[in-house]
Structure formats: structure tokens, C-alpha cells
Amino acid sequence: MIKVGIDCGVKTGLAVARNGILIRVETMTITKAMEAVKELHSQYPDMVVKIEDARLRTWFGNADARQAKSGPGTREGVGSVKRDCSIWEQFCIEQGIKFDLVHPAANITKTKDAYFKRLTGWTGRTSEHSRDAAMLVHQYKSVL
């Protein structure tokens, strides 16, 4: 079974797992990610796309402090990620691609590179976005 993880944003995280094992972990633009998903869907019509749905997020950590320091763009960034989630949902519906919207609290996010590699066995380069996407589809065992 092929699963594709998507972490929405200006830098879109995309990860592909076959039977829970990662085979692709990347960061790209939303349009390149959509092209990749369409190509994968043509090869694996039963695949499932798991999209981290930022629209369900109700906590924003230190957004107030970041906005005070960096300006209103901080909150605008949150809005753009929510818009991207809507775009992904519509894209999957229009393309006939099976998808699940995943609550951010239901995923392990913001893992550091070394921990991610230990947890998944992935040895390639990653970004925070690609790691978040990978955690949506990788079936990991508890790390002691």
C-alpha cells in the first residue's frame, strides 16, 4: 500500500511510504508536489494521500510574540497554510484521489533531524516540512 504524506505550506513537505517504509522524503513547491501526486496516482490508483489539516489547529504557540517581533505576516502565514489545505482537499477530490485529513495533534511534528533518522531509518537529507510529511505515513516503532 502506497501512502503519501503532505505537509502544507510555501515549502510543501512530501513523503511516500510503501507498506509503512519511507521511499521518498522531499520539500518542494505546492505545484511540483501536486504533479508528483498525480504521477504517483497514475502508477498506484489505490494510494492514499494523508494531508496535515492546519484548519483544525487551535493553538499557535508563541504566534503573538512572533507577530510583535516580525509583524502581521506571522498570522498571514498561518492563513496561507490553511488555504493550502483547502487547495489540497479540492485537488484530491477533483483528481479522484483517496485522501485523509489529519489533525495536527494526531501527528508527531517538528522532529529534529537526528531523532527523525533514528526513528525512521531514513538517511537522506530532510527539512522540517519533509519530516512532518514523513511522520504522517511512516509506521514507526517506539524508540527506547
pLDDT the model gives residue 74: 47
CB within 8 A of 103, min separation 6: which ones? 53, 56
pTM value? 0.83
Q: Taking residues 69-80, report their average pLDDT.
A: 55
Asked, for residue 144, whether it belongs to a domain, the answer is no
pLDDT the model gives residue 106: 76
Asked, for residue 143, whether it belongs to a domain, the answer is no
Asked, for residue 115, whether it belongs to a domain, the answer is yes
Q: What is the pLDDT of residues 38-62, one digit of tens each?
A: 999 999 999 999 999 988 866 555 5
pLDDT the model gives residue 55: 85
Asked, for residue 56, whether it belongs to a domain, the answer is yes
In this structure, what CATH number is given to the domain that contains residue 17? 3.30.420.140
Domain holding 46, by residue range, is 2-136
- Counting the structural domains of the chain, the total is 1
Asked, for residue 30, whether it belongs to a domain, the answer is yes
**Are 2 and 17 within 8 A, CB to CB?**
yes
How many Cβ atoms are within 10 Å of 27's Cβ, its own excluded? 22
pLDDT the model gives residue 15: 98
Give, in degrees to the nearest 5, the angle at Cα 110 between 109 and 113.
120
Q: What is the pLDDT of residues 96-144, one digit of tens each?
A: 999 999 988 877 888 999 999 999 999 999 999 999 999 999 986 544 3
Q: What is the pLDDT of residues 58-72, one digit of tens each?
A: 655 555 554 556 555
- Provide the strand spans (E) within the chain: 2-7, 12-18, 21-28, 48-52, 98-102
Mean pLDDT, the chain, integer? 87
Asked, for residue 121, whether it belongs to a domain, the answer is yes
Asked, for residue 141, whether it belongs to a domain, the answer is no
Percent of the chain topping pLDDT 70: 81
**Cα–Cα distance, 97 to 103 (Å, whole number):** 19
